[in-house]
Structure 1
């Protein structure tokens, strides 16, 4: 009897302990008729909660005989309630649940439902499959639970997954990039292939953290992990081809055609891609990368690639990464051209200044075939090998035309003049009297580059303690270049002009090889150490033969024949580098991570260098020390901060420290500086992150301080009679920069969101004012202090529903530059405010974006003022959504130009760059899918 009582007491104690620890956050409320106020019995309350970014759980309850309800939430996260009853409109409410760790009751108050005509109609009741389930630590998405249009692509399904977002073509979960896998293997083609596959291929989608290879061997997490979205393919969909064909017509007389086909397979996936267009797009797709970008301001291209992979497993190593062999061959061709306008003001000390205007036209023809092969394999369960071989060839033909002029002005009489006015000015004109130089240049060149790169790694795992690896690479490349230049120069103050024909051929051959070792080791469970040592050797040989003629009689077929010894150049460079790096991760307590790092770099360089009359041998040995530390402190689930410090050293290129003199461009001469020293920088950064979960608020604060020591600037010498500039790199007095950031993101109920990113920057830097008419090479120039105050803000207010997405936005960039001479002061401003909207009315989809872009404070008058910018599109899907017809219109109100500006302590420049604008694009897309075989 005594034993029975003891056992009963133990059971009772366990029950009490269980009830004590199993808390749950409880929500209560009351539902009534909004019109009459009567209680509603049997109304349904459904909750959807997000315990973590990327997944959700659902629960439901009903109101009792008093119209009241109680609903428990055992998980922590943002929770959305839906209140419904037959004959009434649904209502929603958003809150936050604290889960099992909090035993609290939240009163949602009285919920009022509006009655509708549905009270008198039959209502179809259907079962709903849960979107999310859990299997251990793995989140499992059920594709059948998501509403998709017929023929939807896999990327459309992935975009609907809670917590998964697409940023510029890259998938993210919990603000970290996602690694795509298929049936536990790396997805061949990566992010770019999911737009080709139909959504129905996915049986399940699993989201989990995949530890590093080292962590999977040691069982200890050193912090290196991937966020993986693993696509589980349904039976019958593997070893089949998928893809699409696309054709476009764009005004005026522009076209684009591309075809993409991929074979989905566990063992032998393949991918084929081809495209041709004259719509200024260069698109390539290979087994591990893709690019879709403008060629230039205008252009055309053709591209094709074939990619193949073979996967297998090594016996005893199947729980680690799979073995794979990849091979890829591709060929690209492009032609691009553009016209660029630029204005440049160079700062002088208290005297006449110059303002230069120019316009250049460039054309580039490029062919780039390449082949690549990769191997990764486990030889057994503890050893891996990795080899990557890449062979490249590139041929480029360039044609450049340049027109420019410079003129002087008094500080209080500045007036901007266009290039056309400067070139058209004649003797007697007021502008002509102020002109210093005018020049027209024509340049053509042809370059060929060949290379082969091999990198390799062997890694051995030391059981549960760590790993040891040997790695290295060998790169061999060579380049040849032939360039013709024709210069027409006018020195107006000296009342003379000249024509110069120039030609040079240049060759470069480089060998670079590295061998290194890395050792990872765990000392207990709280200290991880990595030691890395790399030894690199490189050998570079460069030669350039130069020819110049001022007499056309010596020019044969456009090529000068007189050797110019002042710009002939050759050198042989040997360089040894040893890099030793020691880093660690120390976790004294669970919430704190301390990650110190120290790098010691030793360089030994030896060169035989000849440039014109300069013939020298230079030997340099240098060392740099680069310490850094990173601290991360997670104070609670809703607060964390990190603090970092890094010190870096930049060693100037050895060639730039030699006393050469480059006079290829007679108006812009450049020289080396034997007195050039190392530059240093230290950076301190602080970040703080805070969440108010019930209010759906996320806030981030950041602050950083950067100090530059001996930074490099450009010293200009100016000859006022000829208008010739001579530049030389020099160390200047160091400056600093403070930057403060504030990010705010708040969800306002179910559909609305407010986001604002704000940054404030203040800095000071120094540059040399231009030395005028001084031939003394030892003259000490004046330093000019530049103070900058900058504001950068990006605000968005958006509404997102199933059929409508609407965003109001404003982007502000403002900088105030102040100098010791106040006549240089300027405050350029750019502000873009507008609206972006998308409307889904199946089978149609409409999109529009309107903005007012305003600029002020620029010297180039065309940059200032208001511009109304616009884009709009409409698309129509048919044939079970396998076919889609789209019309897109860009910039229908005005010609748009890209503007760029740069401000330093000794110069400011503004440029305008043309690109394709003001067009209509009509696109047709056909998607072909394989179908799974049906069982008979």
Structure 2
């Protein structure tokens, strides 16, 4: 009896002890709250119901959170944040498990489905965030059948060009992402024409420093601008395909076909195109094909791959007038160039990325092979200081393979205070070319303008080149204090090392009238150069909800080495550059921000600028490099300011950019006598200081009528100074560019359009005494209207008129009118036929001007501008509702 009581008592004590031990197990749930762009959402509310207890915390400024003292094995989790849909789940612990890391909890934006046309007057249209300007699609007009391209045209400060390029604050958006992730090929121009506006809740323009910088927080250098589209909840999937065929009176035939399957991160696509244009102005026949695939291949590993191939034949004619200034006067050249090119290329791109909390991994492989065969005939009639006629015919073959490999790995410390990353990249490229050049030069008496002699020369030139480079880098940042603090301070250290090597061979032979071939040793060489660059940087960074800045100091030691086969002289230059680095951003409010950035970088001279052997492929301008050239160092700085109306959508954006270069490589154009006692140009290279550029731009957007209408005002002004030498005398080319425009845009249910006027002025003043400036001035007026008569029928017209003065060749101030009629049919308007007329008055001239060194170049291409095109298109799409 006593024994039984003792046993029962022991069992009872053990049971109580077990329950007590179970109650003493305290569990922890942690994670990070982020939006679809992988940016943390600070201030998010996190609630956990554990038994009879309710525990709450607020996410830190990076979106991170940790909740301890959880007593039950299963708990209810709720995450909320203003502007986002709530996230709820049940978190279950395994036996004896004390911590669950939920990783990234992605909150989707909260939005309502749009009707055919939705205009939300009280919605905040534009919001400013760190490195991001966000547009709320509900605040803009979206019609049935509108695509992202139509939506972007409504945003203040945004310009969508005819070729699909998107410009924001003077900079092109270089990459497309959906919900913060790469989308198919990430080609902006391609997919803004294919994705419907109605599936997106927000559009973001992001200043992106790269994935590695986003992980470590070390943001140095000039960012690139990318476009990120945020889908509405559950609408990140769909299939879309298009087949179209076109025929034009310019004897052009086009066939295109693409198909895309999109299921979140799983993406597959394929497509091809064929273009055949053959007329008196040009021949253009090309075929292209592409496939891509990306998907999750592991627990947290993602694969992307793209393959492209293409080949084509191109034949066109180009005309140019070149005015070259020098100490003796001006050389005017009237040039005509006819080219027939056949090319082919293959390119493969693959990448692996890992998405894991506290870790970062990315790798990529890019390979390309291109082949070109071309035939060229040209004439150059020179007057002024030199009176010569040059006639050249040539054939060439070029083979250029290249491979690039990149890999980055990042890890966070256990205490969450430190983050480190290492990177490696390598590239290898090569080329092999052969040219057969036949040159005929006619010489004239300067006084009588009579032909006095001629020269005939047949050269065979063979080139081989190889380029190899290896880059390695290490980045480390360490938080000072508690990583969960609202204000975070950190120190940074970066080191990078790169070695690039170039091998170049040039062999020149001459074929005489008896077809005997002789090797010309003085015009041939084998050259090898190596450039070693190191970048050592230390810095300090301050982050808060409103103010963020980073300051640092960079040391850049460089070594440039070079050698020539058969020569004893070698290049061995050591340079040391140092510069501060800084970036600053201040979020004044949700609709107002200012940012500043400064960085510096070293650049080695090109091979053709270093080699001392004459390059005689252009006998009127022989190029001789300078092996004593030094490495140049560039300074770049920019300031940006953004101001948006909270509900009105009014916008003001201002940008200022400046740059200066030390030891920049400049040309020295010398007039010398040739073997026939006539003059010719010879180009050499020297290092100069004094080159700079300053540019400022602004845009103002004034929407009214519930944003159905918007007045846009914008402009820019730029100042440049370029140092050049002519006949060993230093000269400056001071440039001024000014542009101003005003326009109005309207978006109605059955009518949309725009109209605008712009003025541009540019001048280039050389300090050469006998140079007469040629300033270019232009007024431009344009308008376009789209009449949506029915859902299945619309018509459009666009027109532009230019008034230009300053071209030496004269401009006919073209008045361009284009018109289009569009009819869709079948269920959901899947098929369509359009008839478009281009340049009805036949006044297009394709004329433009460029300035390079001591030359002002006016270029015009031969092209048929007036023609009619009919297009049949079948568009199949099914996006998640």
TM-score bracket for this pair, using the shorter chain length = 0.7 to 0.9
- Of the three residues 476, 484, 495, the one matched with 2:436 is 484
Aligned pair in 2 of structure 1 residues 388, 718: CA closer, same or farther (>3 Å)?
A: same
**Could you tell me whether the CA contact under 8 Å between 1:767 and 1:904 is conserved in 2?**
no
Q: How does 1:801-816 map to 2 (within 5 A)?
A: 801-816=748-763
> Structure 2 CA distance, aligned partners of 1:677 and 1:173?
36
**Could you tell me whether the CA contact under 8 Å between 1:786 and 1:904 is conserved in 2?**
no
Q: How does 1:793-804 map to 2 (within 5 A)?
A: 793-804=740-751
Aligned pair in 2 of structure 1 residues 768, 275: CA closer, same or farther (>3 Å)?
A: same
1:814: Cα distance to partner?
A: 0.7
> Structure 1 CA distance, aligned partners of 2:185 and 2:145?
19
Describe the SS at the equivalent of 1:495: strand
Aligned pair in 2 of structure 1 residues 346, 152: CA closer, same or farther (>3 Å)?
A: closer
Size of the aligned set, in residue pairs, is 728
> Structure 2 CA distance, aligned partners of 1:514 and 1:907?
37
> Structure 1 CA distance, aligned partners of 2:630 and 2:215?
47
Match of residue 512 from structure 1: 469
**Could you tell me whether the CA contact under 8 Å between 1:193 and 1:262 is conserved in 2?**
no
**Could you tell me whether the CA contact under 8 Å between 2:157 and 2:700 is conserved in 1?**
no
- Of the three residues 615, 621, 628, the one matched with 2:581 is 628
Match of residue 265 from structure 1: 263
Aligned pair in 2 of structure 1 residues 916, 406: CA closer, same or farther (>3 Å)?
A: same
Q: How does 1:661-672 map to 2 (within 5 A)?
A: 661-672=614-625
Q: Structure 1 residue 374 and structure 2 residue 335: aligned?
A: no
Aligned pair in 2 of structure 1 residues 913, 614: CA closer, same or farther (>3 Å)?
A: farther
Q: How does 1:77-116 map to 2 (within 5 A)?
A: none
1:879: Cα distance to partner?
A: 0.6
Match of residue 896 from structure 1: 844
Stretches of structure 2 that go unaligned for 5 or more consecutive residues are 1-36, 38-81, 87-106, 119-141, 446-450, 482-486
1:441: Cα distance to partner?
A: 0.4
**Could you tell me whether the CA contact under 8 Å between 1:767 and 1:905 is conserved in 2?**
yes
1:402: Cα distance to partner?
A: 0.9
> Structure 2 CA distance, aligned partners of 1:753 and 1:160?
11
1:155: Cα distance to partner?
A: 4.7
Q: TM-score, normalised by structure 1?
A: 0.69
> Structure 2 CA distance, aligned partners of 1:213 and 1:391?
21
1:390: Cα distance to partner?
A: 2.7
- Of the three residues 826, 832, 857, the one matched with 1:879 is 826
**Could you tell me whether the CA contact under 8 Å between 1:406 and 1:437 is conserved in 2?**
yes
Match of residue 230 from structure 2: 229
**Could you tell me whether the CA contact under 8 Å between 1:214 and 1:467 is conserved in 2?**
no
Match of residue 924 from structure 1: 872
Name which of structure 1's ranges 647-656 and 591-600 shifts more when overlaid on structure 2.
647-656
Q: How does 1:176-187 map to 2 (within 5 A)?
A: 180-181=177-178, 187=183
Q: Structure 1 residue 827 and structure 2 residue 778: aligned?
A: no
Match of residue 252 from structure 2: 254
- Of the three residues 514, 537, 553, the one matched with 1:553 is 514
Describe the SS at the equivalent of 1:566: helix
Q: Structure 1 residue 718 and structure 2 residue 671: aligned?
A: yes
Match of residue 85 from structure 2: 135
Q: How does 1:15-94 map to 2 (within 5 A)?
A: none
> Structure 1 CA distance, aligned partners of 2:429 and 2:647?
59
**Could you tell me whether the CA contact under 8 Å between 2:571 and 2:627 is conserved in 1?**
no
> Structure 1 CA distance, aligned partners of 2:177 and 2:838?
33
Aligned pair in 2 of structure 1 residues 927, 465: CA closer, same or farther (>3 Å)?
A: same
**Could you tell me whether the CA contact under 8 Å between 1:575 and 1:603 is conserved in 2?**
yes
Per-residue deviation, residues 555-575 of structure 1 (Å, max 9, x unmatched): 5xxxxx211112112123334
Describe the SS at the equivalent of 1:859: coil
Q: TM-score, normalised by structure 2?
A: 0.73
Per-residue deviation, residues 358-405 of structure 1 (Å, max 9, x unmatched): 111122211112233322235x75544433223321111122111011
> Structure 1 CA distance, aligned partners of 2:403 and 2:853?
43
**Could you tell me whether the CA contact under 8 Å between 1:246 and 1:923 is conserved in 2?**
yes
Match of residue 593 from structure 1: 548
Match of residue 440 from structure 1: 391
> Structure 2 CA distance, aligned partners of 1:194 and 1:691?
24
Aligned pair in 2 of structure 1 residues 326, 304: CA closer, same or farther (>3 Å)?
A: same
Aligned pair in 2 of structure 1 residues 628, 517: CA closer, same or farther (>3 Å)?
A: closer
Per-residue deviation, residues 729-773 of structure 1 (Å, max 9, x unmatched): 12346255554444322223333322111223345544334x3xx
Describe the SS at the equivalent of 1:140: coil
**Could you tell me whether the CA contact under 8 Å between 2:443 and 2:454 is conserved in 1?**
yes
1:220: Cα distance to partner?
A: 13
Match of residue 474 from structure 1: 426
Q: Structure 1 residue 538 and structure 2 residue 509: aligned?
A: no
Describe the SS at the equivalent of 1:824: coil
Q: Structure 1 residue 334 and structure 2 residue 332: aligned?
A: no
Describe the SS at the equivalent of 2:469: strand
- Of the three residues 408, 424, 449, the one matched with 1:457 is 408
**Could you tell me whether the CA contact under 8 Å between 1:153 and 1:196 is conserved in 2?**
no
Name which of structure 1's ranges 694-703 and 172-181 shifts more when overlaid on structure 2.
172-181
- Of the three residues 291, 294, 297, the one matched with 1:309 is 294
Aligned pair in 2 of structure 1 residues 399, 624: CA closer, same or farther (>3 Å)?
A: farther
> Structure 2 CA distance, aligned partners of 1:882 and 1:196?
13
Q: How does 1:348-363 map to 2 (within 5 A)?
A: 348-349=326-327, 351=328, 353-363=330-340
**Could you tell me whether the CA contact under 8 Å between 2:321 and 2:332 is conserved in 1?**
yes
Aligned pair in 2 of structure 1 residues 478, 339: CA closer, same or farther (>3 Å)?
A: same
> Structure 2 CA distance, aligned partners of 1:299 and 1:578?
46
Q: Structure 1 residue 752 and structure 2 residue 714: aligned?
A: no
Match of residue 92 from structure 2: none
Match of residue 856 from structure 1: 805
| RMSD between aligned residues | 4.2
Aligned pair in 2 of structure 1 residues 187, 665: CA closer, same or farther (>3 Å)?
A: closer
1:179: Cα distance to partner?
A: 5.8
Q: Structure 1 residue 364 and structure 2 residue 316: aligned?
A: no
Describe the SS at the equivalent of 1:562: strand
Match of residue 121 from structure 2: none
Describe the SS at the equivalent of 2:514: helix
Name which of structure 1's ranges 816-825 and 205-214 shifts more when overlaid on structure 2.
205-214
Match of residue 53 from structure 2: none
- Of the three residues 358, 373, 380, the one matched with 1:404 is 380
- Of the three residues 369, 381, 390, the one matched with 1:393 is 369
Name which of structure 1's ranges 456-465 and 477-486 shifts more when overlaid on structure 2.
456-465
Aligned pair in 2 of structure 1 residues 268, 354: CA closer, same or farther (>3 Å)?
A: closer
> Structure 2 CA distance, aligned partners of 1:736 and 1:164?
26
- Of the three residues 523, 526, 538, the one matched with 2:480 is 523
**Could you tell me whether the CA contact under 8 Å between 1:739 and 1:759 is conserved in 2?**
yes
- Of the three residues 433, 455, 468, the one matched with 1:498 is 455
1:234: Cα distance to partner?
A: 6.6
> Structure 2 CA distance, aligned partners of 1:491 and 1:901?
29
> Structure 2 CA distance, aligned partners of 1:806 and 1:156?
14
1:618: Cα distance to partner?
A: 2.2
**Could you tell me whether the CA contact under 8 Å between 1:140 and 1:207 is conserved in 2?**
no
Stretches of structure 1 that go unaligned for 5 or more consecutive residues are 1-53, 55-131, 281-295, 315-321, 410-434, 556-560, 772-780
Match of residue 23 from structure 1: none
Per-residue deviation, residues 186-234 of structure 1 (Å, max 9, x unmatched): 544556457557889x6x8577999998999999999999955135557
**Could you tell me whether the CA contact under 8 Å between 1:181 and 1:231 is conserved in 2?**
no
Name which of structure 1's ranges 711-720 and 214-223 shifts more when overlaid on structure 2.
214-223
Name which of structure 1's ranges 667-676 and 649-658 shifts more when overlaid on structure 2.
649-658
Aligned pair in 2 of structure 1 residues 279, 698: CA closer, same or farther (>3 Å)?
A: same
> Structure 2 CA distance, aligned partners of 1:161 and 1:757?
15
**Could you tell me whether the CA contact under 8 Å between 1:400 and 1:444 is conserved in 2?**
yes
- Of the three residues 276, 279, 301, the one matched with 1:278 is 276
**Could you tell me whether the CA contact under 8 Å between 1:638 and 1:692 is conserved in 2?**
yes
**Could you tell me whether the CA contact under 8 Å between 2:216 and 2:475 is conserved in 1?**
no
